[in-house]
Amino acid sequence: MTSKALRRKIIDDGVVLLHYGDSKDIDPENYSDFRGAKPALKGFNDLNENGGWVIADYPPMYGDDREIWMGEIEKESFHTYSNESEKCLIDHKHGKSYSHVHNYKALKMKGQKKFDKNKNPLLRLPFGRGTVFRINAVSPESLISIYEERGRSPVVESLEPFELELICHEYLRKCPKWQLDYLVSPIGRSMEGVDIVGRSFSKDRTIYAQITAQKKRTEISRKVKKLLACQDSKHDLIYFGPKKEPVKDQGVFFIEIEAVFDWMEHKDEMKEMRKILLNQ
């Protein structure tokens, strides 16, 4: 357990740390007794060998707020990190693998910057579970645009999959042809092969929508097949996809994602939403 001063020093020094025992060993195979250590050390070693971008999440302690920092890990920057003047406050509880003065396994960030999650909605996403892991929820391009404090390009391809789902949902709500009134399950997690399930009360129709930027025909065919499984006389099946890969299956309405993105520019509230999503 670090002191408040040591926590501050760790952040100010721009290091990311692991603490599985106090040895300098970073071979994952030697940490079978530590829960979660193997995958964490594998990720740690990958960063040490190859470098890479990281989001470092320093949890709240001693009344201080959580801090989110982004930076680039320097290759082969592994070192042990400790403060000889500070003994662990509860070292006797840790067991034989720990000493009175902790030695942390550390990597050095360069160009690190602090970011506010409230000003960068993408940083509020649940990126994953574990100590060290790859982020799949957000593309590297989006994260680098946050780091460089610039907006993303004003094209539909700049949107993350969940953002594309959001704008298509708004389109279905506001477009007179569809008049989606309410959802009957969360966006993106409705059922396999369907991203939106909702009702148009005025039209007495249930809407099933698949939303994707997918351009591979085999994948498109697979998605359409799953969408067609929802076919019924009172259902509208909608496939949102790229203009260059239209869906022509009978019973499925095809809407270009580029058209939805352009539509946002002509409605004030949607223009504002687009601006926020692209961080412009």
Looking at per-residue confidence, does 266 or 85 come out higher?
266
Residues 85-139 have pLDDT tens digits of 666 655 555 555 656 677 888 999 999 999 988 888 788 776 767 778 787 778 8
User: Domain-by-domain residue ranges, the chain?
Assistant: 4-139, 157-277
CATH of domain 157-277: 3.40.1350
**Average pLDDT of the chain, as a whole number:** 86
User: What is the pLDDT, as a whole number, of residue 96?
Assistant: 58
DSSP result, 152-221: PPSSGGGS-HHHHHHHHHHHHHH-TTT---EESS-TT-SBTTBSEEEEETTTTEEEEEEE-----HHHHH
Partners of 237 in the β-ladder = 208, 252
List of E strands, the chain:
15-18, 52-58, 67-73, 79-81, 104-115, 182-183, 196-200, 205-211, 235-241, 252-256
The predicted-structure confidence for 200-211, as pLDDT tens digits, reads as follows 998 999 999 999
pTM score, whole prediction:
0.78
Task: Judge contact between 152 and 261, C-beta under 8 A.
Answer: no
- 212-223 pLDDT, tens digit per residue, is 998 888 888 999
CA atoms of 144 and 166, how far apart (whole Å):
22
* pLDDT band (50, 70, 90) for residue 198: very high
Q: Residue 1: which of 74, 150, 104, 70 has the closest Cα?
A: 104
Q: Nearest-5° angle of CA 260, CA 265, CA 270?
A: 80
pLDDT for 91 equals 53
